[in-house]
Structure 1
Amino acid sequence: MSSQHSTWPVLLEIYNLPQWLCMKRNYIMLSLLISGPKQPGHDIDVYLAPLIDDLKLLWNEGVPMFDAHTNSNFTLRAMVFCTINDFPAYGNLSGYKTKGEQACPICEEDMKPTRLDHFKKNIYPDFRKHLSRYHPYRKKKKEFNGFTEEGVARTPLTGSQVYERIKNVETKYGKCFKSKSKKGVLWKKVSPLWDLPYWKDLSVRHCLDVMHIEKNVCDAIIGTLLNIPGKTKDNENVRKDMKKKNIRPDLWPVKKKDGTKTFLPPACYTMSRKEKKKFCECLHGIKVPSGYSSNVKRLVSLSDLRLIGMKSHDCHALINVFLPIALRGILPKHVRHVITKLCLFFNSICAKVIDPETLDALHNDVVETLCRFEMYFPPSFFDIMVHLIVHLVREVKLCGPVFLRWMYPFERFFKTLKDKARNPANPEGSIIRGVLKEEISGYLAEFLSSLEPIGLPKSRHVGRLAGEGVIGKNVISPPSERKKKAHLCVLQHLTEVHPYLEKHLLELQHCNPKLKERALMREHNRTFIEWFKKEVGKKQDHDVSDTIKWLSRGPRLCVRSFEGYDINGFTFYTRRQDEKSVVQNSGVKVVASSRVYASAKDKRPVDSTQSYYGVIEEIWELDYTYFVIPVFRCQWANNQNGVKRDEIFPGLTLVNFDRLSDSDEPFILASLAKQVFYVVDNIDPRWRVVAQGKRHILGIDDVVDEDEYDEYDDTPPLPMVVQPLPEEEDANNTNHMRTDHTEGIWVTNRN
Structure 2
Amino acid sequence: MDRSWINFIHTTNEYENGVEQFLEFANMNVPDNNGRFYCPCVNCLNERKLPTNVIREHVLCDGFLKSYTKWIWHGELIDMPSVDVSEEEEEVDLEMGDQLEEMIRDVGHDSFQRANVYENLFTDAEKPLYAEFTKYTRLSTVLKLFNVKARNGWTDKSFTELLELLSDMLPEGNILPTRNYDAKKILCPMGMKYQKINACPNDCVLYRKELAMLHQCPRCGVSRYKQKDNEFESNSKGPPAKVLWYLPVVLRLKRLFSNANDAKLMRWHVDGRTTDGHLRHPVDGLQWRKIDSMFPNFSNDSRNIRFGLATDGMNPYGNLSSKHSSWPVLLVIYNLPPWLCMKRKYVMLSLMISGPKQPGNDIDIYLTPLVEDLKMLWEEGVDMFDGYTGDSFKLHAMLFCTINDFPTYGNLRGYNTKGHKACPICEEGTCHHQLQHGRKTIYLGHRRFLSTNHPYRKLKKAFNGCQENELAPMVLSGSQVYEHVKDIGVVFGKMKKKGTSSNIWKKKSIFFDLPYWRVLDVRHCIDVMHVEKNVCDSIIGTLLNIQGKTKDGLNARLDLVEMGIREQLAPQSHGKRTYLPPTCHTLSKQEKRSFCESLQGVKVPLGYSSNFKRLVSMKDLKLLGLKSHDCHVLMQQLLPVAIRGILPKNVRYTLTRLCFFFNAICSKVINIEKLDQLENEVVVILCQLEMYFPPSFFDIMVHLIIHLVREVRICGLVFLRWMYPIERYMKILKGYVKNQYRPEASIVERYIAEEAVEFCTDYLSQVEAIGVPKSHYH
TM bracket (short chain): 0.5 to 0.7
Question: Is 1:153 paired with 2:472?
Answer: yes
Partner of 1:361: 677
**Deviation (angstroms), 1:461:** 4.1
1:399 to 701, 705, 715: 715
Is contact 1:283–1:300 with CA below 8 Å preserved after alignment? Answer: yes
Question: Distance between the aligned counterparts of 2:332 and 2:625, measured in 1?
Answer: 30
Distance in 2 separating the partners of 1:460 and 1:324: 27
Q: Counterparts of 1:297-446 in structure 2 under 5 Å?
A: 297-446=613-762
Q: Is the 8 A contact 1:172 1:189 kept in 2?
A: no
1:217 is aligned to 2:535: yes
2-structure distance, mates of 1:214, 1:112: 21
Deviation of 1:267 (Å): 1.1
Tell me the distance in 2 between the aligned counterparts of 1:384 and 1:356: 27
Aligned to 1:179: 498
**Match of 2:432?**
113
Query: For each residue in 1:639-688, what CA deviation from the matched residue of structure 2 results, as whole angstroms up to 9, or x when unmatched?
Result: xxxxxxxxxxxxxxxxxxxxxxxxxxxxxxxxxxxxxxxxxxxxxxxxxx
* Gap regions ≥5 residues in structure 1: 463-751
Show the 5 A alignment for 1:21-170.
21-170=340-489
One-letter amino acid matched to 2:754: E
If each structure's strand is expressed as a fraction of its own residues, which one has the higher value?
A: 1
Which residue, 498, 502, 509 being the options, matches 1:191? 509
SS in structure 2 at match of 1:80? strand
User: How much has 1:460 moved relative to structure 2?
Assistant: 4.5
Point out 4+ residue stretches in structure 1 off by more than 6 angstroms. Answer: none
Q: CA deviation at 1:310?
A: 0.8
CA shift for structure 1 position 307: 0.9
Query: 1:129 touches 1:151 (CA, 8 Å); kept in 2?
Result: yes
2:562 equivalent in structure 1: 244
What is the CA distance between 1:68 and its match in structure 2?
1.3
Aligned position for 2:110 = none
1:206 to 524, 534, 557: 524
Please list, as runs of the form range in 1=range in 2, the aligned pairs for 1:528-567 lying within 5 A after superposition: none
Q: Deviations over 1:105-146 (max 9, x none)?
A: 100010121001111100001101001102111111111112
TM-score by length of 2: 0.58
Measure the CA separation in 2 of the matches of 1:455 and 1:104: 36
Q: Which one has the bigger helix percentage?
A: 2
- Aligned amino acid, residue 218 of structure 1: C
3-state SS of 2:399 partner: coil
Instruction: Give the whole-Å Cα distance in 2 for the aligned partners of 1:250 and 1:6.
Output: 48
The amino acid that maps onto 1:341 is: R
Rounded Cα–Cα distance in structure 2 between residues aligned with 1:146 and 1:17: 52
Report the identity percentage: 60
**For 1:217 and 1:94, how far apart are their aligned partners in 2?**
23
Counterpart CA distance in 1 for 2:637 and 2:402 is: 28
Q: 1: distance between equivalents of 2:700 and 2:682?
A: 16
2: CA distance between counterparts of 1:354 and 1:70? Answer: 34
- Whether 1:226 and 2:226 are equivalent positions in the alignment is no
Partner Cα separation in structure 1 for residue 738 and residue 623 of structure 2: 33
The one of 612, 634, 640 equivalent to 1:296 is 612
The one-letter amino acid of 2:434's match is R
Q: Give the match's secondary structure for 1:70.
A: coil
Counterpart-to-counterpart distance in 1, 2:599 and 2:776: 28
One-letter amino acid matched to 1:195: D
What is the TM-score with the length of structure 1 in the denominator? Answer: 0.60
**C-alpha distance in 1 between matches for 2:347 and 2:339:** 14
Native 8 Å contact 1:145 1:247 kept in 2: yes
Aligned counterparts of 1:130 and 1:250: Cα–Cα separation in 2: 28
Partner Cα separation in structure 1 for residue 617 and residue 734 of structure 2: 29
Q: What's the Cα RMSD here?
A: 1.2
Hey, what's the Cα distance between the residues in 1 that align with 2:680 and 2:628?
A: 27
**Structure 1 equivalent of residue 598 of structure 2:** 282
1:718-743: CA deviations, max 9, x gaps? xxxxxxxxxxxxxxxxxxxxxxxxxx
**Cα offset, 1:444, TM superposition:** 2.6
Q: Give, in angstroms, the shift of residue 458 of structure 1.
A: 2.2
Hey, what's the Cα distance between the residues in 2 that align with 1:384 and 1:179? 25
Q: Deviations over 1:333-359 (max 9, x none)?
A: 111111111111101100111111111
Unaligned runs of 5+ in 2: 1-314
- Specify the SS of the correspondent of 1:33: strand
Listed one character per residue, the Cα deviations across residues 296-349 of structure 1 (whole Å, up to 9, x for unaligned) are: 222211111111111111111100110001111011111111111111110110
Matches of 1:263 and 1:175 in 2, distance apart?
A: 48
> Are the equivalent residues in 1 in contact too, given 2:607–2:776 (CA < 8 A)?
no
Output aligned runs, 1:255-266, within 5 Å. 255-257=573-575, 259=576, 261-266=577-582
Which amino acid counterpart does residue 248 of structure 1 have in structure 2?
R
